[in-house]
Chain A
Amino acid sequence: MLEIIQNFGPTLLEAMGKTLTMAFYSLIFASIIGLIFGVFAVVKNKFLNILAQIFVDIIRGVPMIVLAYFVFFGIPYACKNMLGFNLTLSALEAGIICLSLNCGAYMAEIIRGGIQAVPKGQMEAARSLGLPYLTAMRQIILPQAIRTMIPSIINQFIITLKDTSILSIIGFPELVNSAKGVVALTFKSFQVWAIVGVMYLIIITILSKLAKVLERRLSYEYKHKRHN
């Protein structure tokens, strides 16, 4: 075990870094996608409502592995053979696109639910003061919605972090892919996969703890205490 850590530790750590890089960018884009489609789902506009619904249904209805093959192989193929130009996506780019779309769809649902959980009177009160819809959304509704959404969002972030491992199938050298290489060299699958498991566990535990702190900080009780 120690021997593996000594010899392949740096490789695995570097791979972990790639996993985190991919997850990091994906989560940023997913949050933007989620916010846009989440708001689309609640505004008073049938067209945008349907658009959001279609997006969520499609992404939720397709396994991510299929989405990954489609983005990495299908889309460049279509560009070359049907549209007549070359598009090459690196495994990292394709991976980020997949994860962003996938996580974005679930985020949209979380954000929609969070917004709808804010009592209707809040929007009415804000609008009755003459505030425009988007101002009311930004100042009043979203800050309240975020509080209820935080646990689900963190949960989704953790799922997405773990889903980076699915992208090993398009050849991105993230943690699982690198570990496969180490197993091939050493034949010690028990030790290698145990190490990889613990690495994921550590990262995700840290993330969960951070989430708890964030959740507590955003609570009204905490703000109240600070004021008095």
Chain B
Amino acid sequence: MNTNISDTIKISVKDLHKSFGKNEVLCGISADVKEGEVVCVIGPSGGGKSTFLRCINKLEDVTKGQIVVDEYEITDKKVDINKARQNIGMVFQQFNLFPNKTVLENIMLAPVDCKLLTKEEAKVRALELLKRVGIEDKANAYPHSLSGGQQQRVAIARALAMNPDVMLFDEPTSALDPEMVGEVLAVMKELAEQGMTMVIVTHEMGFARDVADRVLFIADGVICEEGTPAEIFDNPQQKRTQDFLAAVL
């Protein structure tokens, strides 16, 4: 489906365990994501999908296991996590735009502060990105005056401004009104077609089937089943996967 995939491994996760207190949320997850690959993670709520994603850029401390993204070993205590994160864009369910800054400032902040771009360069890039996500007319607006769909598109532009090699999406459309889901998914699909390496936690099964190169079904802290969208959606092997899909489709 996707001709962008190379053999280079971008994200490597080995035997990932994560506990919150006594509660073990991830119980040994191993997965590799190749350059240009789009991986959708599906599964029941509380099954560990989001935690898995948040471990990849160390928003959650890993209890046990190894995660490597590009040349950065995220699980190494000595890694420069800020440098590593500059390479990993993340988009959140609640958008998390900075309400005290305009759309333009939201996008320019990190590239300028991390000294990747000058102010002028960052502005040019920000406007370019806003055009790409279709809201260049909102550059000087504050986030609270934007619709959810627009806010999420700004959030995507903000993450892209750092020119990351990898993008993580944590249920990017779950907090949106139904009529705004499409515009966000369209931006993501375009990004996928341009060869971005993406890991997407989602409940949008249609989108996963359409865009994913590979689907991971995570439940009870393990990867229950993985395969191409056709394998997972049309011919799931595990009882757990079958039950889940029967409930959501």
A-B interaction: yes
- Chain B residues near A (Cβ < 8 Å): 57, 59, 82-90, 92, 94, 96-100, 102, 109-110, 113-114, 140-142, 144-145, 155, 158-159, 162
Q: State whether A126 touches B98 (Cβ < 8 A).
A: yes
Question: Distance (Å) between the CB of B84 and the closest chain A CB?
Answer: 8
CA distance A116 to B238 in the complex (A): 43
Q: State whether A129 touches B85 (Cβ < 8 A).
A: yes
Report how many residues on chain A are interfacial, defined by Cβ distance under 8 Å: 22
Residues of A close to B142: CB separation below 8 A: 220, 223-224, 227
CA distance A224 to B100 in the complex (A): 10
Residues of B close to A128: CB separation below 8 A: 57, 59, 85, 88-90, 159
> A122 at the A/B interface (Cβ < 8 Å)?
yes
B99's closest neighbor in chain A, by CB? A220
Q: Which of A95-127 contact B (CB under 8 A)?
A: 119, 121-122, 124-127
CA distance A125 to B59 in the complex (A): 10
Q: State whether A121 touches B92 (Cβ < 8 A).
A: yes
Contact digits for A116-160, partner B, Cβ 8 Å, 1 yes 0 no: 000101101111111110010001100110010000000000000
Q: State whether B109 touches A139 (Cβ < 8 A).
A: yes
Q: Could you pull out 13 A-B pairs where Cβ atoms are within 8 angstroms?
A: A119-B96, A125-B92, A127-B82, A127-B85, A128-B88, A128-B159, A129-B86, A129-B110, A130-B162, A220-B144, A224-B144, A224-B145, A227-B102
CA distance A130 to B163 in the complex (A): 12
Residues of B close to A139: CB separation below 8 A: 98, 109, 113
CA distance A131 to B82 in the complex (A): 6
A129's closest neighbor in chain B, by CB? B110
CA distance A127 to B92 in the complex (A): 13
Residues of B close to A227: CB separation below 8 A: 102, 140-142
Residues of A close to B83: CB separation below 8 A: 130
Known contacts A140-B100, A144-B100, A220-B142; is-contact A124 B113 (Cβ 8 Å): no
A129 touches which one: B94, B102, B158 (CB < 8 A)? B158
Question: Distance (Å) between the CB of B150 and the closest chain A CB?
Answer: 15
6 other A-B residue contacts (CB within 8 Å) besides A144-B100, A220-B144: A121-B94, A124-B59, A129-B110, A130-B87, A130-B110, A224-B145
Question: Distance (Å) between the CB of B20 and the closest chain A CB?
Answer: 15
Question: Distance (Å) between the CB of A178 and the closest chain B CB?
Answer: 44
